[in-house]
Structures are given as structure tokens and as C-alpha cells.
Structure 1
């Protein structure tokens, strides 16, 4: 069961003027499930995206990068689940391009104006015939209303799921230049999640009025403090993609500088939304029972704080201890020690588990009692604070525990 995560309600999801959505059952991997989603964007929309750092990037990721680099006015996105179209060589690239061409022909666009996304099993040929056969249903549904409703956003969140147990979607409203602005996002992901993006897809749209040349920076800044700060199991996938769309339909003046008051307000408003979606991925981590915040304080640089945080977050020994509520907290110290921080002085390490001071000056705190540590570890949400005693930089990552179900889910993933 997800860790304190509920299914979003359609009534809570805001329509974004300039975005239409259609979802179909194409039978790409399994029958009778939503697995093909189309986003249609009004002319004049601005799009930015960031993608996996895995060098073995999937075919749709490669095609997305090409189309964004072309400078084309992006007008559509097509997402399939059930098949990653990764590790598929030239036939996979051809399939991704044919998908774009089919959508473009139906809409009277050029193929460069379409972005393709896939998620699912790696190294299996994309069943292009089924995908193409499902496109008319998705496109027809998208064309039925002038703007995607909350119910359609929720349907899209369901349509991109793989091993997720719940759809992930959220909205928020805020003011920019005196005008009300809306934003809605969806995401998918539960396993093979690691920073620098992972097996996750995220799509965030706002009607904010933003210059197109800023959108890649907007996407990167949001990803760096949300999706690039979560990890489930340390595996970096081949297909991860995070897209931010600004339909430019709001009434405020065009944002041309992210350092301007409106630019800063935009980032400040979208950050909690991106973080909510990223946290939802961790809360729905495969077999997760604990949501764990790891905050590393007192570093000289952000990089070394993240080194320590990820060493702890990725340690199977740490993660299984949290699952068992076993305060075997020396495992955390060991992970910090092998994180690779140059000249780390172990005598300055501090460790807090929730409200319990566990380690001071590199050794067991004289007042620490194991039953206090266990009390905190039984909670569903846990804060781990690690002090390095080297500077004034703090960084945070979010992760989950490893349970028996993680092994079961991944052992049975293809069955």
C-alpha cells in the first residue's frame, strides 16, 4: 500500500486552457486497460523538458530531444505504457517516428511538432500496429471538449501507470501580475527510480504566459528540486521524461526573465506541485511502507551533501532496517563514511532520527536509547538529519524502505 497517499479526485484537478487530453485502451501489453494517452496543445504553447541521464536512452527520448532541438512549435504529446521502446535499436527509432507521423497527419501538423513517450518493459519491440490502431480513439476523445477536464487529467494519470498502485495528479492556483493562474500535473513511477530522472514520466501544464526560450530552464529548475531529489532503488532508467507546458493563456504580462518578480513567483508556485508529484512516486514506491526524508546539513557544497544523502538512501542495509523498524543506525554512519566525501572528519558527525539525537561528535549520544530510535522508525514518515560539521550547506532527498513486496513485484514484473 502507498505511504499516506490517496487517489486524487477529479474535482480537485484544474482544467488548463490550451490543453486537451484523450485516453484509449490500445492493448499494447494488456487488454482492458488505459495505455495510450494524447495531449493536444493550442498554438502558441511553450514547452520545456528534461530527460534521463542514462546513456542507453530509449527511442522516444532520442526523438523528443531531436524534435525539441529543431525548434518546432510543439502541439501534441503521445504516451504509451506497457512497452518502453528501449533497447530496440533502429526499429525502435522508426516506431517512435512513425507514431509522431501518424499523430501529425491526423492533426495537420509536421512530425517534429509531436513528442513521443513510452514506459514499460525494456528490450521488447513496440507493438506499433496496436498503438496506431488506438490513436483515433484517443484523438477523438481529446477533440470532444475545448479543454481537458479534471476527469480527463485523472484518466491521463491512470493511462500512464505501470507498477503504480495509484494515479498521481495534483493542481494549484496562484496569482501572477494580478491574474489567476492554474497548474495541473501528472506523474507515473514506482520502481527503477533514481535521481537524474528515472523510470518516471511527469507532465505539468500551466496557463502562465512564459517566453518559450525560458521553458527548458523552468523544466530543469523544477526537476532539480523535485524529481532529481527522489530515489526508490538507485536504478536510473532509460525513459524518464519531465515536461513543462505553458499555454500562455493567462492574463498577466509575458514572463521573459525568471529572475524577475513574476519569474520568481512562477517558480515558487510550481515548485510545490512538482515536489508533490515527486513525493507521490516515492510514497508509491514498489512495496514501500515508509516515506523517508534524508536531510544532510553542514556540508561545504551541495554536491557533497547529496553524496552523503544518496549513499544512505541507496543502501539496501539501511532501507531494510527501516522496513523492519530496526534501529541498526550504524548502517547510516557506514553509508556516510563510504559516500566518498574527501577529508570527512568522522568526529564531527551528528545524527538525528526524528526528535531523537542518536550520534554526537561521531559517537553514540550518551542519552540515546534504542527504544527511542525504534519508536521513530515505526512511523510511516521519518526524518533523518545528518550533520557533517563542514560548512553551512543543506540538501534533502526523499526515499522509501525496501520490503518483501519490492522483490516480489520486480520478480513478477513481466508476468
Structure 2
């Protein structure tokens, strides 16, 4: 069994979880390589704003030596939250305390840049889309990439998200459609170009729902707002309506029909966006998702426990990454480290996944969420 003195560790996926794992490993003197399918760090948009919680995500950043940098880059005012009804009336308004740091917001891109900048040069190998993981369970593992590269390693860590290629080496599970779909819309330079949207959303987020459809608008850095149009629809609803994802005008007309009874103030979130919509059907892994232990492969984050987007995903990914890296630093063999990590991670993720199983429907509920309970207070 490979010792943890000088193992060949390959992390697949340069998202927050994979990069955090690599950062903590390097802080403990352990060599690691990260492989990502993107051609480079700026290949695609990294997504919206994240809230990192004091009881999981922030723990990982502290272990990574990056917590002070995170607070410097984060937006504590992003913790403000408004709940409205379809008429635009405010039902609930949470304004964070001046020194509140339980779950400040940070743009995904800024968090990724922070993590990338903390790694040794050359740690991330871009343009490596994983095609297969070969080799026996007791190792070594052989990674085969679409660009023809072949890499042997003593441990492969699947941090490659919802449609993980590493997962296939451990589990036959695949994500299932939740029945709820997001349609993402972007608003740029909102104070100047969309002042009504800026006022409606404030510095944090604003949500509304009527039981069948909902909206969630979230302030991002740089005076941007992302809006998620939330619907209970088939996964192929755009094609079923005779539309094309690039047909912004046609999709907008369809949404106006579905949201037409909502107030004009809220309807702006559906119709006044800059550029095209982005279709994001919500998937989740079966619950529980477990696998037979292998001393040479494991998963973290969405690859291990994809759940509906209710504020826990990235926080669990960072905590997974932290605990796996620390286990590799403190156990005497890779296999024992992987087992110790999974003995904690799998029960925790199963408990959380059971709580959130089917919870995508809550995004459409007219009941006020218990924000205090969601914060873990």
C-alpha cells in the first residue's frame, strides 16, 4: 500500500473543491497535480455568487491559509435577503449585522482566482479532459485524457462535478433530473442600465414564488445581477415549446406568458436581461450515494453528492477537500487516508442529501423559508 510520504496524487477538476484540496496538500509538503478540461482559467464564465459558511467552507479556507484573503475579497453585504410575493410586496427582509461574517458572498471567479494564485506554478494542467480511469483498485491508476495524455497515479481524486468521469470508476450512479429547471439571465452595470433591478435586488438577493414558478435574483460583484427563472417543467421544455436555446426573443415571449400575472416590477427580471438566457436543468444524485472503498480513488463535492442548489454544495465541497487533504497529510498510507476521509464524508453527505432530497421544489414554495435555520443558528 502506497505511503503518504511521496504518493502520486492526481486531482481531476479545477473547481473550488479540487483547488482547495491541492492548496492544503501543498501546505503540508505533498506534491499534487490538478487536471482540468478547460483550455485555461478564463475559458468560460465561472458562474454566480457563493456564500461560504463559517461552519464548513470557511473552515477549509482557514486550513488553506486563505481566510483573511477571502474576507478581503468577499461581500458581507451580500448576506442581505428579501422575500417577495408575485405582486412585488416584501414579505421578509434580512439585513445582516455590521460585523456579520457567517456566510459572506464571493463571486465564483474571484474565489477560483484566489485559489489558483495560491498554488505552485504549473500545478494545474489545462486542456486535459478525462476520458477513462483504468488500472486495478489497489493501483496504480492510469488516467487517459482526450488529448492523448496518459498519467499514472497512486490516488485519483474526482473533483470533476456533476457529470464526473472519475465517478464511473467507483459507482454506476448518474444524476437524475429533479423536475425543476433554472433559466439564467444576466444584468450588467445595473445602477446605470437597470436601476429598478438594482433597487429591487439590493446588495444581496431577492426571491419570489407562486407555487409553480419562481425567481431568484442575486447581486454579484462589479454591479452585475444574475437572475434564475425557476420552473417546474420537463428537462427539454425549451424544445418542447418549439424554441431554440439561442432564440432569446422567443423564450422571452414564452416566459411573459407564464409570468404575465406577476407585477411589472418583477417581470423586468424576466424580460430586461442583457444577452441570451442559459438553460440549467437541476439534477441530483440518488440518495444515498455510496461506493465500495478503493484505496486509490475517491470523490469530493458534486462528484460525490450532487444535491439541489440550496446553498450547501460548494461549502460541502470545500469541507470534503479539507478533510481529504488533512487525512493524506496525517495518515501513514494513502489507503488509510482515503478510508478515514470517507468514513466521515459519506455519512455527512448522506444526512444532508436526505434533507435536501426533492428540495428543489422548495424554490417554488410560497411559504417563507426559515433563514435562521438555514444559517445553522
Quickly name the TM-score band, shorter chain normalised: under 0.3
Scaled by the length of structure 1, the TM-score of the pair is 0.24
> TM-score scaled to structure 2, two decimals?
0.25
Larger RCO: 1 or 2 (CA < 8 Å, sep 6+):
2
